[in-house]
Structure 1
Amino acid sequence: MRHDIKPNERAFSTKEVAEELNIATPTVRKYGQILERNGYEFFKDGHRRIFVRSDIESLIALRDTDRPADDTAKDLADLQKERLEGFSETQLATSDTYDSTLQDPHQLREFLLFISNELAASREMNVQLSNNIAELQSTVARLRQDHHAISSGVGNSTQKMNAKIEKMIEQQKTQYETLLQHEQEKNETLQNELQHIRNEQKEVWRSQQRLEESVNKPKGNWDWLLSLFRK
C-alpha cells in the first residue's frame, strides 16, 4: 500500500491531470489502467484515482515512450516499488501530518484547494450522471413509443420495407449495368487509341528505315533520291 504522500503534497483529479498533460480524460484513465495492470499503485478515493506529482511524471513517461506501453509501465512500477521500500513510514505519521497541515497556512490552503477541487469534480460527475439518467429515461420513452408503433403497423411496415429493398436492388442493378457499359466503352476507346499509337510507331519506324537505306546508297546514283518521292 502506498505511504509516500507528503504533508504538503498537491493532489490532482483526473480532469486536472488531463489538462496539465494536454490529453483527453479517457486517455488518463487508460494510462492509469496500464500502470495498474503492471503493478503500479495509485492513491484511491473509492474507485477514483488521486494523482500526486510522481504519478504525473509516470504518466508523462508512459505518454512519451517509444517502447511498448506495458514494458514502460512495468519499469515505472518497479521504480515505484523501490522508492516505497526506501521511504520511512515514520516520516508520515498521521498525527504529525494533521498538526503540520493545520499550523502552516500555506499547507492549509493547499488542503482546502484539494477539497474544493474534489467537490467540484464530484459536482461535475453528479451533473453528468443526472444528464445521463434524463437521457436514458428519454430514450426508454422513445423506445416504448417506437415499439408500440411497430407492433401496430408491423404488417404494413414489412410490405413497405420489402418494396423499398426491391427498389434499391433494382436501382443498384441499373447503376451497375450503366457503370459496366461506361467501362466497356472506355476500354474500347483506349484499345483504339493504343492501336493508333502502334500504327504511328510502325510508320515512323518504316520511314526511318527507308531513310537509312537511302542514305547508305552511293552518292552518284540518283535512283535513291527518286525512290524517296516514289514511296
Structure 2
Amino acid sequence: MRHDIEPNERAFSSKAVADELGIATTTVRKYGQILERNGYEFFKDGDRRIFVRSDIKALIAIRDTAKNRDDTAIEIVAQQKERLEEKQEAMETKPATQDTYDFSLQDPNQLHEFIKFLSSELAATREMNVQLQNDMSHLKSTVSQLQQDHHVISSGVGNFSQKTNTKIEKLVEQQQNHYEQLLEQEKQKSELLQEEIKQMREEQQKEWRVQNDFNKQLQESFQKPKGFWESLFSVFRK
C-alpha cells in the first residue's frame, strides 16, 4: 500500500489531470490502466483513482514515451517501488517523538490559546454561514425578480402581439368597407350612365321617327297632281 503522500499535498481528479495535461479524461483512464496492469499503485476512493503530483509525472512519461507504453510502465513501476521502499525505511528508522498535540493540551496556556483559536474559527464559520445565508437570500430574490421580469416580458409580448393583430384586423376591415363603398358608387354611376344613354337613344329614335315622318310627307306631297307650291306649303303648315 502506498504511503508516500506528503503533508498538505494536493489531490487531483481525472478531469483536473486531463485539463492539466491537455488530454481527454478517457485518455487519463487509459494511461492509468496501463500503469496498473504493470503493478503501479494509485490512491483510490472506492474504484475512483486519486492522483497526486508523482502520478501526474508517471502519466506524462506514458504520454511522451517513444517506446512501447507497457515497457515504459514497467520502468515507472520499478521506480515507484524503489521510492516506496526508501520511504518505508525512513519511517522505520525515524525516532518516535512525543505527541506534541496531546502535550500542548496539557499546558493550560496552550489549552487557552487553542480554545481561543477554536473560538475565532467558530466565529469565522458562523460569519461565513451568515454570509452564505445572505447570499442565498439575495440569490432567491434575484431568481424571483428574474421570474417576475420574464412573466412581465412574456405578458408584454403577448399583449403587443394581440394589439397588433387587432389593429391589422381593423385595418383590413376598414379597407374592405372602403372598397365596397367605392364599388357601390361605381355601380350607381354605371346605372346612371346607362339610364342617360337609354334616354339619349330614345330621344334620338324619336327624332329619327319625326324626321322620317316629315320626309315621308314631303315625298308624298311631291307625288300628288295638285300644284307644287300648294303641296309644299301644306306640308309646312302641318
TM-score range, shorter chain: 0.3 to 0.5
TM-score, normalised by the number of residues in structure 1: 0.39
Higher relative contact order (CA 8 A, sep 6+): 1
TM-score, normalised by the number of residues in structure 2: 0.38
Decide which structure has the larger Cα Rg and report it.
2
